[in-house]
Amino acid sequence: MKIFENKKLQEKYYLEILDNGLKVYLMPKNEFHKTYAIFSTKYGSRDIEFIPLGQKDYLKTPEGIAHFLEHKLFENEDGTDASNIFASLGADVNAFTTNYQTAYLFSTTSDVKENIELLLNFVQKPYFNKDGIERERGIIEQELLMYLDQPQNIQYYGILKALYKQNNIRNEIGGTVESIKEINEDLLYTCYNTFYHPSNMVLAIVGKFDKDEILKLIKENQSKKEFPKPTSIERKYHLEDETVNQKNSFIDMNVTSPKVSVGLKFPSEKNQPKDFLRKFTSLEILIDIYFDESSLYYEEMMNRNIINNSFEYALYYDLTYGHLLINVDSENPEIFIEKIKEIIDKIKHNDIEIKDFERFKKLYLSRAIRRFNSLEYIANSMVEADFDNLTIFDSIEVLEAITIDDVKEQRKYFNLESVATFTIFPRKEKNSQV
């Protein structure tokens, strides 16, 4: 068993890699009354092109199949729903699919062992049949049709499609009404057998439990199940440079005022895990210096009514893609777009003041330390860190070591040629004559 420890935080956790390849992370925190567990596979909406287990050629699967699979796993062969069994044990259960993972989780204050067994068993015992697939297809189709009427969803994927030409990040997590029609029993089993192998999965448990008892339970559970020999999974992501797909795009919808997105695309680059983390954190600090509510640029835009309380921004960065999204609801989209472009150009050419850097570095450190009071944050971070070949303490160690020069180095990515915009305009009513 491997131990990870941060003496400053007075926190430590354990890793046991089982014979079947499953990584089990445990952090007992007996001062809490609750236990939180997450069982996750490194398989998300972007993983639609891969070489299936036992095959030699790439297979392209329908968009949305990872999300479809997440829904279907809750249905047991006897017709029961795993959610109801968790509820009978007093646990809150949930699941989610992102572009890079599918996760199943629960939190409970009782029957921890029983809930862990249930989590492992329902995820590791798939059952798909034609009737169940058709029933689920109808449910998900209604979800997707509902999303088509949600401006925020259209705005998010609209700007991604403007930024990316081929990268799978541009695809909707749930797929499309057309793509889910292609999903069948064979494809679900192919994806399951490839990506739900224990060697591609992580189980993280944090909270009130006995470490040795829980590990023994997990080992016994896994020893009763048979899995193929672990193999690495070949995936195709269509990495891109910073060139955008479409500079300016727009649509009309039933909105009261225009919804504007400005996207800045970063090139896909190969980095070692800690170098990637340093780059991501440096970018976050640089972006906050210019766009945080405490910045002079934010204050100026508010005073000139260029932005309002709908203003938001977020950095999305991964080894396979990277972009900054800046959104607002505005009656003057052109003015907002020009101002954001002006700020992006300033970021590239202006210097950074040491006081701004130090203020945000201190803020980030205090925030990172406070997050260790959340069981959910710790367990989710264990999964994400593992997928990135990091530990949950690396983010703090990288933060402590970051310099103003690390932040300044990121200015080179703020190029106006890498900017795309997407705007939703209010739909104009057609005049009718009686």
Which is catalytic among the residues 63, 70, 75, 284?
70
Phi, psi angles (nearest 5°) of residue 236: -120, 125
- Enter the DSSP assignment of 309: T
The CA–CA distances, whole Å, from 348 to 79, 336, 341, 386, 410 equal 58, 19, 11, 33, 9
Q: What is the spatial distance between Cα 152 and Cα 149, in angstroms, rounded to a whole number?
A: 9
Amino acid at site 356: D
Q: What is the spatial distance between Cα 352 and Cα 359, in angstroms, rounded to a whole number?
A: 12
Do 303 and 295 meet the contact criterion of CB atoms below 8 Å apart? no
User: Residue 356 is encoded by which pair of tokens?
Assistant: 């701004």
For residue 326, with 0-12 CB atoms within 10 Å meaning exposed, 13-18 middle and 19 or more buried, which class applies? buried
List Cβ neighbours of 425 (8 Å cut-off, separation of 6 or more). Answer: 250, 251, 252, 253, 255, 258, 333
List Cβ neighbours of 224 (8 Å cut-off, separation of 6 or more). Answer: none
Do 324 and 263 meet the contact criterion of CB atoms below 8 Å apart? yes
The DSSP H or E segment spanning 265 is strand 259-265
136 among known catalytic residues = no
List % helix, strand, coil for the chain (3-state, nearest 5).
45, 20, 35
Catalytic positions, written as ranges: 70
